[in-house]
Amino acid sequence: MTLEQLRIFVAVAERQHVTRAAEALNITQSAVSAAIAALEARHDVRLFDRVGRGIVLNDVGRALLAEARVTLDHAAGLDHMLAGFRGLERGSLRLAASQTIGGYWLPRWLADFRKRYRGITVALDITNSEGVAEQVAGGKVELGFVEGVIDEPALSRWPIAEDALLAVQAGNAPVRADAAWIRSTEWILREEGSGTRSTFEAVLSGMGIDPGDLKVALVLPSNEAVRSAVIAGAGAAVLSTVVVTSALSAGHLHALPLGIPPRRFFGLRHRERQPSRAAEAFLSLIAGTT
């Protein structure tokens, strides 16, 4: 049986009249009669007794009516649930972001998204760029946001914003930060797989400096740990401006004249997975198209 047959049956049962049921449903009387006949024939039962020129529910019909109402109510609830997903009234969105993006750039967009779509639950995992790519490729999250170079054929990557990197240290900046100075200075680096580290290493390679030639004082797993170590005088580091702005203003850090070009933040998604409506809405928000 179909939901449409059940709807027709309930309409007839509640009115005990085929013509009035057809008028209420805005369909033909023959369509109503055919639906009832199909139900009865399929299950080899009679649902109505013909009394004179009218019809009345029999015991089988009364039993079906109770269950049919429950089934139709449940179907209506499912329709409402799916409409909520379609209209972004409910649902979930799983994201992953590298530390700089997740800790500094993304939160304002998450707040804006929450104001617009309060029924959508958002879960964000913050890791390094390689970890983000792994989660998107493995289907653990729908969208990823990174600043590093990602070489993963299964992923689609596109620019979403621009970021400036600064080389900083606790002491006064030298007049020139040339190759000789870079090689002689102790550096504090993020861990392997960090987008900030890979960008810095790309800059070094462009200057003809092998990243392996650096004097590495510390390798630390977060922007905040690197910044604190630099403030404590453990060495120089390259970090996003959003990470060091307050420390620069307070005089705890000084920018080095390294001339690092701006880098891009990128969005990631799996090429073969269709984004949900929630993911599409979030991307439209950060792209400024909503």
Distances from the Cα of 289 to the Cαs of 31, 106, 283, in angstroms?
Answer: 47, 17, 9
Domains 91-162+265-287 and 165-261 share a fold: yes
Radius of gyration, alpha carbons of the chain: 32
Which CATH superfamily is 165-261 part of? Answer: Periplasmic binding protein-like II (3.40.190.10)
Is 43 in a helix, a strand, or coil?
A: helix
Q: What is the CATH number of domain 91-162+265-287?
A: 3.40.190.10
β-pairing, 263-270 vs 155-163, is: antiparallel
List, for residues 112-141, the tens digit of each pLDDT value.
999 999 888 899 999 999 999 999 999 999
pTM confidence score: 0.67
> What's the confidence (pLDDT) of residue 78?
74
Q: Which residues of the chain have pLDDT under 70?
A: 80-87, 175, 289-290
Domain 3-86 CATH assignment equals 3.30.565.10: no
List, for residues 73-119, the tens digit of each pLDDT value.
888 777 766 665 666 777 889 999 999 999 999 999 999 999 999 88
Place of tokens 């004179």: 52
Boundaries of every domain in the chain:
3-86, 91-162+265-287, 165-261
